[in-house]
Structure 1
Amino acid sequence: MKNRVKEKLKNGEKSVGAFVGIYSPEMVEMLGHAGFDFLVIDDEHGAFSPRDLENMIRAAECVDLVPIVRVAYDPSSIQKALDRGAKGIQVPMVNNREDAERVVQRVKFPPLGQRGANYTTRPARYGKDHGIGFLDAADDQILVIVHIETPEAVANFEEIVSVPGIDMAFIGPTDLSISMGYKEEGARHPEVQKTIAQLRERAQQQNIPLGNIAANPASVRQELENGTAFVAVVITSVMMSAFYEVVEAGIRND
């Protein structure tokens, strides 16, 4: 159950991955062959059934991608993602210490949390793994990520990341900019950028890894240079950008 991305974060190393919100095991395989470190299956905004999640996770495992699920708001979504084999959980709209504590409770087995145990699921190899070895390995290896994407979460940042069991904070720049009232300029607004820069400093002070979205290769490099430990592109944005370039090249050649 070794989680390569969690180990890299512990060692101060950085990882690059991709958000995927469309069902495509083939796309997952391509990401792995391209050399990405992790995949975030977006079950908050994407259209995935539990079986879809399992197949996406299975494809990730085939190409040495660490499968992470950004869960939906249903409290059972964490349990279902973990039982499908997710090696990490990203939870949106975590605004205070109590929210963060509830996340840990749903991820960890007793006595650390309240996750229900079942040894017949695929993470336990359908019963081959069981008992304290499986339970402790899961508690140790699952990557727990909380989203910071509202002014309330920004104000409560230190108390959120101080909750035992929280491994990383991830900035949600789109929701953050909207909740701050900057719907037009979005994350480009100077006040949003200022808030993100302050979060980087506060994360360093708290010795907690920080994650963020990157729009293109240049912004991936910039985020890594700024100290962001976990950088993700959105696969549909990357694809659409490539499509635009192809169409634009065709128009220029008319």
Structure 2
Amino acid sequence: MYIRSAQVSTPTQAREVVLSSRFPPVGRRGFGSPYTQENWDIQTAGEYLNVANENVIVLVQIETREGVQNVQAIAEVDGIDGLFIGPYDLSISLGYPPPSPDPHPQVEQVIQDILTVAHKAGKKWCVFLIAMFCTSGTQAARRAAEGFDMINVTSDVGAMQSGLATEFKAAASA
């Protein structure tokens, strides 16, 4: 399981995300419903708390100018397992239009800088992830070749539009 938190701009915010992502005594996450415990066939609530704390991956989204300025310190926060780049909000916060389909060259440079920081921040007991939102398979392939570990291949709207277009085309040809 992973938890992804948007608009994380400071190490203090990153530490808050970590605390909110794990159950006591490690963090302060609320227990809520026992549905997950039952769904994963875990016998006791105590066992679930331990399994959940040990297996959650915590990603923070770097999408602001302040987040870019603090990306190294954010990556060094204990309990942060990866950085996720939101290229639309990042572009806007840096004063550029949203990607269409690719980011402005200055934003692309920032993305590459974040990628470098993430790769240098590998931690002893986990793989430090660098993730990015893409809107097409072509973009996703390029980002994978650049070294991104986790990639959104398309958006939900893009997937629905593509699927509907395919089905309408098939229906029209009948």
Q: In which range does the TM-score fall when normalised by the shorter chain?
A: 0.7 to 0.9
2:145 is the counterpart of 1:225: yes
Q: Deviations over 1:67-100 (max 9, x none)?
A: xxxxxxxxxxxxxxxxxxxx22111001101111
> Which residues of 2 match residues 199-214 of structure 1 at below 5 A?
199-207=114-122, 208-214=128-134
Structure 1 vs Structure 2: percent identity of aligned residues? Answer: 29
Match of 1:190 in 2: 105
> Are residues 138 and 185 of structure 1, via their aligned partners in 2, closer, same or farther at CA, if it must alter by over 3 Å?
closer
Match of 1:239 in 2: 160
Q: Deviations over 1:4-61 (max 9, x none)?
A: xxxxxxxxxxxxxxxxxxxxxxxxxxxxxxxxxxxxxxxxxxxxxxxxxxxxxxxxxx
Secondary structure in 2 matching 1:211: strand
Q: CA deviation at 1:188?
A: 2.1
- Provide the rounded CA distance (Å) in 1 between the counterparts of 2:114 and 2:34: 38
> Are residues 244 and 178 of structure 1, via their aligned partners in 2, closer, same or farther at CA, if it must alter by over 3 Å?
farther
Match of 2:8 in 1: 94
Match of 1:161 in 2: 75
2:26 is the counterpart of 1:112: yes
Match of 1:130 in 2: 45
Secondary structure in 2 matching 1:147: strand
Shifted more, 97-106 versus 237-246: the winner is: 237-246
CA contact (8 A) 2:82 2:118 kept: no
CA contact (8 A) 1:145 1:167 kept: yes
- Provide the rounded CA distance (Å) in 2 between the counterparts of 1:198 and 1:137: 34
How big is the alpha-carbon RMSD for the aligned residues of Structure 1 and Structure 2? 2.7
Q: Would you identify which runs of 4 or more consecutive aligned residues in structure 1 move more than 3 Å?
A: 184-187, 241-250
Could you tell me which runs of 5 or more consecutive residues in structure 1 were left unpaired when the two chains were aligned: 1-86
> Are residues 248 and 151 of structure 1, via their aligned partners in 2, closer, same or farther at CA, if it must alter by over 3 Å?
farther
- Provide the rounded CA distance (Å) in 2 between the counterparts of 1:179 and 1:153: 10
Match of 1:33 in 2: none
Count residues in correspondence: 164
Q: CA deviation at 1:106?
A: 0.9
The code of the aligned residue for 1:122 comes to: Y
Secondary structure in 2 matching 1:169: strand
Could you tell me which runs of 5 or more consecutive residues in structure 2 were left unpaired when the two chains were aligned: 123-127
Secondary structure in 2 matching 1:178: helix
- Provide the rounded CA distance (Å) in 2 between the counterparts of 1:136 and 1:144: 16
The code of the aligned residue for 1:202 comes to: V
- Provide the rounded CA distance (Å) in 2 between the counterparts of 1:149 and 1:143: 19
Q: CA deviation at 1:115?
A: 1.6
2:34 is the counterpart of 1:121: yes
Secondary structure in 1 matching 2:159: helix
Q: CA deviation at 1:238?
A: 2.8
> Which residues of 2 match residues 39-58 of structure 1 at below 5 A?
none
2:89 is the counterpart of 1:175: yes
Q: CA deviation at 1:146?
A: 0.6
CA contact (8 A) 1:216 1:238 kept: no
- Provide the rounded CA distance (Å) in 1 between the counterparts of 2:21 and 2:144: 28
The code of the aligned residue for 2:58 comes to: V
